[in-house]
Amino acid sequence: MISDRPLRLRILLLFAALAGAVLAAILAALVIAGWRMSLSGVAATSIVDALALAALIAGLGCLGATAGIWMLFDRYLARPIEALAGGLRTGQAPEEPDTRYLADLGPAVREAAQARARAAEALSRAVEEHASELAHEKETLENILADFGAGAIMADAHGRIMFYNSAAARLLRGIALDRRLDRYISSGAIEAASARLAAGVDATDLVCLTADGERMNARMRRVDDGILLILRDRTSAAAVPRDRLEALRRHAATLVPMLDALEGPMPPELARAIQHEGRGMARETKALSELLSGKGPTGRARLVELAAGLSSDAALPNLVVLADAGEMNALLRHLDKSLRDEGLTPAFDILLDDPAEPHLCLVWSGNPVPMARLDEWLSYAPDCAQPDLSGADILAMHGTGIWSEAISGEQARLVLSLLLAEDGHLPAGLTYDFALGKRAVAASRLSDLTCVVFDTETTGLDVTDRIVQIAGLRIAGGRLTGESFDTLVNPGREIPPGATAIHHITNEMVADAPDVRAAVTAFHHFTAEAVLIAHNAPFDMGLLHAIRDETGVHFENPVLDTVLLSAMVWGQSADHSLDALAERLSIEIPPEARHSAMGDTIATAEIFLRLVPALEAKGIETFEDVIQRARQFRNLIADANQAAPKSG
């Protein structure tokens, strides 16, 4: 096809066709002229001579003119166009003499080529800087991990070692890449920890035995299809006060049937016996508390970790208790198996009568287990990695006990109490920004700002309404750091049904939540020294300013508003709602997350990060640039920085 031919050849063929058409027209004209002359009586010889001469002159003239015009067209249009195409493809600007007949096309192509060269150079610099940052971060992390006191080992889905640091090499002699992990660490503890991870937790603690028989504390988490194991030398365990614990159990075992026999007036002998056993329990409890003072469990575990491998009739709350996950889960599984060996079918349950001390239960249909039988079960070592640690030892190390009791409906249960972790959650994972040290302390470039994007849910749409939820995400150096804040707030008043219909927060959900003073104080601590970012910031900041006298907390942070930033990019007439911005920037907000504080915060953070390059392209690069441009949009939205009341 002609469209597949080079441009110059196509133009040549076009002019050849044009020349052929002109010659055909001349020939037709000469034939008609000869025919007319023959009708006029002119001799045929004269007609032929005249027409032949005319045909020769017209044909040569036509061919010469066509060839000349083609040569000019080829030289000043076709060749420069091919040069322009090559320049566009290679990024090289063509020479000006070669494009002088192309009017504005030549300068436009040169400018485009130069812009492309600048963009390529900037991209190359950015890639080099990013590669340098990645190399620096890699080197820094390698240095940290190399000298980290804990041993770090990563294994793939088949148990082959892919990574280890120097501390791991010291702890596990002979460790090498592409060898199986169970060559150095007993597989039983790894398999039990894997079962706890499969229950839905990110990481779990365990105690494992090395091939040399040494016992180590460890923490394991999933990484892709493999595992990451952090090993630490296990400190010598404190002596377990078995005699005190057994004495306490004996008193309890004696006291329980006495209490069950209480029907009608109490005989004096029974009262004295109960008094004696009660004093004995108090004495032994005090002694046990003194022995265990400061020696409680250091680990933290979620309830789903402790219940891994056990059947449960209900979903477990997302609570974190003070317990060593491996030891306590092994004990509960051992007790579960012991009950099943007795023909019973226990189910794991949780009692929350005391908010600070959850009670873990194994519930079954039938009679309670006698204390002597329970003591027998507790005399065995449930954790294969710690064969010298009995169930009673595990309870003593946790400063707790377990007992059997009857409940209504001809059911019974084993009850184990553990303390709730104070903050109720596990610490976050690795957080870093090594580029922070290269940026100025008071950097005001939008891409360098340290910000907290936040959102609130309230009892209404007026600044006199109350906050019922507040969430925030930290951004540093143009990326989310992974640090977050999210809490429900007890507003101190009823939440109207209309508000609940929007954000789905009920009065029951906030009944035990922190009050506004505690929540706002914690949020103020989270936002210290950061720029605050919100969508429709005057409303959210107005809520915080309205309660400053009640909370004693003053938010004097600089503020950015994504509504205002959107107007600077698309103009005031565009739709600047959160949903419109998310759709315009291809940001998906899950329906269940919309109108939740954290869901809207995530969307606002993504919107801000995508608006920054567009703002910089318009010359709005710093916080000061935004403040200066904000004056042009006073009719659209107030400046939250000017709306903030000044402290007296």
Task: Name the amino acid, one letter, at 642.
Answer: Q
pLDDT, position 441: 45
Task: State residue 480 phi and psi, 5-degree precision.
Answer: -70, 135
pLDDT(1) > 80 = no
Residue appearing with tokens 């219909």: 501
pLDDT, position 98: 61
Pairwise CA distance, residues 412 & 361, whole Å: 10
Percentage above 70 pLDDT, the chain: 77
DSSP state for residue 428 in the 8-state scheme: P
pLDDT digits over 91-106, tens only?
556 666 666 666 667 6
More confident residue, 616 or 400: 616
User: How many Cα atoms sit within 13 Å of 648 on the Cβ side?
Assistant: 3
Residue 592's Cβ-count burial label (10 Å; 0-12, 13-18, 19+) is exposed
Residue 285 confidence class, pLDDT cut points 50, 70, 90: low
Percentage above 90 pLDDT, the chain: 24
Pairwise CA distance, residues 256 & 372, whole Å: 13
Residue 395's Cβ-count burial label (10 Å; 0-12, 13-18, 19+) is buried
pLDDT digits over 411-424, tens only?
899 988 888 876 54
Residue 15 confidence class, pLDDT cut points 50, 70, 90: confident
From residue 601, how far is each of 78, 338, 471, 477, 546 by CA, in Å?
Answer: 57, 49, 7, 18, 21
Closest CA to 387 of 398, 397, 379, 399: 379
Longest dimension (CA), the chain: 164
pLDDT, position 276: 62
pLDDT, position 234: 57
Out of 210-219, 272-281, 403-412, 454-463, least confident range: 272-281
Collapse the DSSP code of 628 into the 3-class scheme (helix H, G, I; strand E, B; otherwise coil) and give the result.
helix
pLDDT(189) > 70 = yes
pLDDT(257) > 60 = no
pLDDT digits over 630-644, tens only?
888 877 777 777 655
pLDDT, position 451: 92
pLDDT, position 213: 79
pLDDT digits over 509-534, tens only?
999 899 999 999 999 999 988 999 99
User: What are all long-range contacts of 369-378, with beta carbons under 8 Å and residues at least 24 apart?
Assistant: 369/339, 369/342, 369/404, 369/412, 369/414, 370/404, 371/249, 371/252, 371/253, 371/256, 371/403, 371/404, 372/253, 374/402, 374/403, 374/404, 374/414, 375/246, 375/249, 377/334, 377/335, 377/338, 378/402
Pairwise CA distance, residues 457 & 516, whole Å: 13
Task: State residue 31 phi and psi, 5-degree precision.
Answer: -65, -45
Residue 48 confidence class, pLDDT cut points 50, 70, 90: confident
In this structure, the strands spanning 320-322 and 347-351 are unpaired
From residue 418, how far is each of 231, 395, 403 by CA, in Å?
Answer: 25, 10, 13
Mean per-residue pLDDT of the chain = 80
pLDDT, position 426: 47
Closest CA to 430 of 482, 477, 476: 482
User: How many Cα atoms sit within 13 Å of 646 on the Cβ side?
Assistant: 2
H-only helix segments in 40-162: 44-73, 79-90, 105-147
Out of 200-214, 269-283, 315-329, 559-573, least confident range: 269-283
pLDDT, position 302: 85
Pairwise CA distance, residues 87 & 95, whole Å: 10
From residue 365, how far is each of 148, 224, 256, 311, 411 by CA, in Å?
Answer: 51, 42, 20, 14, 4
Pairwise CA distance, residues 143 & 141, whole Å: 5
More confident residue, 210 or 295: 210
User: How many Cα atoms sit within 13 Å of 256 on the Cβ side?
Assistant: 14
Residue 141 confidence class, pLDDT cut points 50, 70, 90: low
More confident residue, 621 or 201: 621
Residue 478 confidence class, pLDDT cut points 50, 70, 90: confident
Residue 5 confidence class, pLDDT cut points 50, 70, 90: low
pLDDT, position 28: 85
Q: Please, what sign has the CA dihedral across residues 474, 476, 478, 483? A: negative
pLDDT digits over 424-446, tens only?
444 445 565 656 555 554 558 89
Strand ranges (E), 234-329: 300-302, 320-322
pLDDT digits over 379-408, tens only?
999 987 788 888 988 888 887 888 888 887
Tokens encoding 174: 């002979």
For residue 608, the surrounding DSSP H or E stretch is helix 597-617
Pairwise CA distance, residues 65 & 52, whole Å: 20
pLDDT(126) > 80 = no
Task: Name the amino acid, one letter, at 432.
Answer: Y
Strands of 479-488's sheet in order across? 479-488, 467-476, 450-458, 531-534, 559-561
Q: Could you tell me if residue 634 is left (phi over 0), alpha (psi between -120 and 50 degrees) or otherwise beta?
A: alpha
**Mean pLDDT, residues 187-198 taken together:** 87
Closest CA to 385 of 206, 583, 122, 203: 206
More confident residue, 27 or 49: 27
H-only helix segments in 148-219: 166-171, 187-198
pLDDT, position 224: 79
Contact indicator for 418, 322 with CB cutoff of 8 Å: yes
pLDDT digits over 575-589, tens only?
899 999 998 888 888
CA end-to-end span of the chain, whole Å?
83
pLDDT digits over 336-389, tens only?
999 999 999 999 998 887 767 788 999 999 888 888 889 899 999 998 778 888
CB neighbourhood size of 409 (10 A): 6
Q: CA-based angle 456:462:464, to the nearest 5?
A: 90
Pairwise CA distance, residues 551 & 409, whole Å: 49
pTM: 0.52
Residue appearing with tokens 């009920």: 506
Out of 264-278, 381-395, 561-575, 626-640, least confident range: 264-278
pLDDT, position 293: 47
Tokens encoding 419: 């303390």
pLDDT digits over 163-188, tens only?
888 778 878 877 877 788 888 888 88
pLDDT, position 157: 85
**Mean pLDDT, residues 557-576 taken together:** 90
Task: Name the amino acid, one letter, at 615.
Answer: L
Q: How many residues does the chain have?
A: 648
Tokens encoding 285: 């409890």
pLDDT(493) > 90 = yes
Residue appearing with tokens 């019973």: 344
**Mean pLDDT, residues 554-572 taken together:** 91
